[in-house]
Structure 1
Amino acid sequence: MVDMDADTFEALVGDVFDSLPDDMVNGLDNVAIVIEDRPEDGSLNLLGLYHGVSLDHRGQYGFGELPDMISIYREPLLHIVTDATELREQVRITLVHEIAHFYGIDDDELHALGWG
């Protein structure tokens, strides 16, 4: 387990997001990435969650839609790692996983690609 305050964790998530390939993040229109301490149920089992309608299931999408959201859960991530390097890698995996859901890639395909 790693101990890291919320501001430092947020900066780390921002750095990791900024390091992702442009072709992965350029299409994230109207998507908010938020950092929360824990999921709604309070568990430590969920690292991130995509809230929204994936691109492959959208019909007409236009003005006035609330943004889709990717939640990154700080305490569960801190709980499963042993150092800052491992945390950075796990944040990267979690971001890629949730961004993939935005693009319509399901868990089975993510597992097959090694991102599950």
Structure 2
Amino acid sequence: MSMDADGFERLVIDELDALPDDMVDGLENVAFVVEDRPADGSLDLLGEYDGTAITDRDRYGFGELPDRIVLYRESLLAMCDDEEQLRDEVHITLVHEIAHYYGIDDEELHELGWA
């Protein structure tokens, strides 16, 4: 599947807006970013949380950079056949990375059926 960067970013925004309020209302100082690929150039990683989970921090101080949730456009496009499947995968990836923000690790995500 192919989609230009602008179209992909609009799709990500739509999926982010569709998430339940109780999932996103607690997000503080988090930037959502779209990049083409991970630094290693692979297509294996769909997204990642770059920050400190709220369960592992005291508070933000002055001048701290925001945490980042990154979605990798080319990785997500490579695994999808159509826009409906892409929307599903973007949704799953957003939920997965937001869960990491809340301190939920991969093992717990699997137990909950989210990964």
TM-score by length of 1: 0.96
CA distance in 2, matches of 1:105, 1:63: 26
Which amino acid in the other structure matches residue 84 of structure 1? E
> Could you say which residue in structure 2 is the equivalent of 1:7?
6
Amino acid at match of 1:14: I
| Residue equivalent to 1:54 | 53
Cα shift readout 1:31-82 (whole Å, capped 9, x = no counterpart): 0000000001000000000000000000232332110000000000000011
Deviation readout 1:81-105 (Å, 9 max, x if unpaired): 1110000000000000000000000
Q: Counterparts of 1:1-116 in structure 2 under 5 Å?
A: 2-116=1-115
Report the identity percentage.
64
2-structure distance, mates of 1:114, 1:84: 23
Counterpart of 1:42, as a letter, is G
Distance between the aligned counterparts of 1:34 and 1:61, measured in 2?
A: 20
CA distance in 1 between counterparts of 2:72 and 2:60 reads: 28
Q: Which stretch shows the higher mean deviation, 12-21 or 59-68?
A: 59-68
The one-letter code matched in structure 1 to 2:12 is V
Tell me the distance in 2 between the aligned counterparts of 1:4 and 1:21.
Answer: 26
**Unpaired runs of at least 5, structure 2:** none
- For 2:7 and 2:59, the matched residues in 1 are separated by 39
Once residues 30 and 62 of structure 2 are traced to their aligned partners in structure 1, the CA distance between those partners, rounded to angstroms, is: 14
